[in-house]
């Protein structure tokens, strides 16, 4: 497959979890899908401006045009919101000339090529944080469970509980819904005697990582686990910062200054300290 045959579209929400994106891109290469990366504000699905339909339409139309003009046969998505908007909103601005699949789906379809790369054992009893609201768009729940079962040493557990909405972010606006989901997820993990909770999506990962500090579970994204088994760098700085007693000290003065001290104080630290 030539690089131009596929695009790996990671959207515009990549600043917190760049390592998950990098690992996903490397895994696609390992599976024989060298997709060209596309993302950032210039490749937005329009969801941040949904309250301003004309602006959102313009952003969606611009991104759709760039995809069509690229000549790519497939767009591989990372963010579930982007994936749904590609189906529902962006596709209404112009006819897509490409197919699309979520990255977990694309990797599972190429599991025969990916499996030989996953040679390093990763020990753990893991329960995946699964939701009901996206799996009908792309079979991510089945794909992630299948991918994790390719990792030697890993025990992938099953529980019937499924969270509402398409990811944890969708619960945040409903009073009490997100805490209730986390409570039921923790209870499910205890029932099956899991030691690790695995996130599928970046939004869920941000909500789950604090469970390491509050409930004693390890929390990992599926990409971190596959990356470790493939011998790729698999650190999780966001989790480290979120669970640190002093996130600013862990980030370090040099990095804060490079990013802009005022911006870090206003936008980053409040989230890490919550």
Give tens-digit pLDDT for 256-268.
999 999 999 999 9
The reported pLDDT for the residue numbered 57 is 84
Q: What is the pLDDT of residue 49?
A: 64
Helix (H) or strand (E) holding 39: strand 36-39
Residue 265: domain span: 244-272
Q: What does the block give as tokens for 233?
A: 């760098």
Residue at 44 is within a domain: yes
Helix axes 140-148, 222-229, angle to 10 degrees: 30
The closest of 10, 11, 12 to 23, measured between CA atoms, is: 10
Same domain, 127 and 202: yes
Query: Which of the four pLDDT bands, split at 50, 70 and 90, describes residue 226?
Result: very high
How many angstroms separate the Cα of 237 from the Cα of each of 97, 182, 224, 241, 262?
A: 37, 22, 12, 6, 20
Indicate whether 27 pLDDT > 60. Answer: yes
Task: Out of 109, 129, 150, pick the residue that ends a domain.
Answer: 109
Residue 176 lies in a domain: yes
pLDDT interval class at 1 (50, 70, 90): very low
The number of domains in the chain is 3
Distance from C-alpha of 47 to C-alpha of 53, rounded to nearest angstrom: 10
Residue 87: per-residue pLDDT = 86
User: Is 146 contained in some domain?
Assistant: yes
Q: Return the structure tokens found at 151.
A: 């990792």
Check whether residue 218 and residue 123 sit in a common domain.
yes
């Amino acid at each position: 497959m030539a690089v131009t045959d596929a695009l790996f579209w990671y959207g515009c929400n990549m600043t917190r979890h760049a390592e998950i994106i990098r690992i996903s891109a490397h895994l696609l290469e390992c599976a024989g899908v060298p997709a060209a990366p596309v993302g950032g504000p210039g490749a937005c699905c329009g969801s941040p401006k949904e309250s301003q339909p004309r602006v959102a339409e313009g952003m969606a139309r611009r991104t759709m045009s760039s995809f069509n003009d690229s000549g790519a046969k497939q767009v591989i998505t990372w963010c579930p919101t982007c994936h749904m908007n590609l189906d529902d909103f962006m596709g209404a601005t112009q006819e897509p000339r490409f197919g699309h699949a979520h990255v977990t789906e694309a990797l599972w379809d190429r599991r025969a090529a990916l499996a030989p790369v996953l040679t390093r054992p990763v020990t753990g009893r893991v329960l995946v944080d699964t939701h009901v609201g996206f799996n009908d768009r792309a079979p991510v729940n089945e794909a992630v469970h299948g991918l994790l079962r390719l990792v030697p040493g890993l025990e992938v557990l099953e529980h019937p509980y499924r969270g509402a909405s398409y990811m944890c972010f969708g619960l945040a606006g409903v009073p009490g819904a997100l805490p209730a989901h986390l409570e039921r997820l923790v209870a499910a993990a205890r029932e099956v005697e899991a030691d690790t909770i695995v996130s599928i999506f970046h939004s869920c990962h941000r909500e789950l990582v604090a469970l390491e500090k509050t409930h004693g579970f390890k929390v990992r994204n599926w990409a971190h686990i596959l990356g470790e088994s493939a011998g790729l760098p698999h650190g999780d700085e966001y989790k480290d910062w979120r669970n640190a007693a002093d996130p600013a000290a862990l980030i370090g003065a040099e990095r804060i200054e490079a990013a802009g001290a005022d911006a870090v104080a206003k936008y980053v630290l409040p989230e890490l300290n919550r």
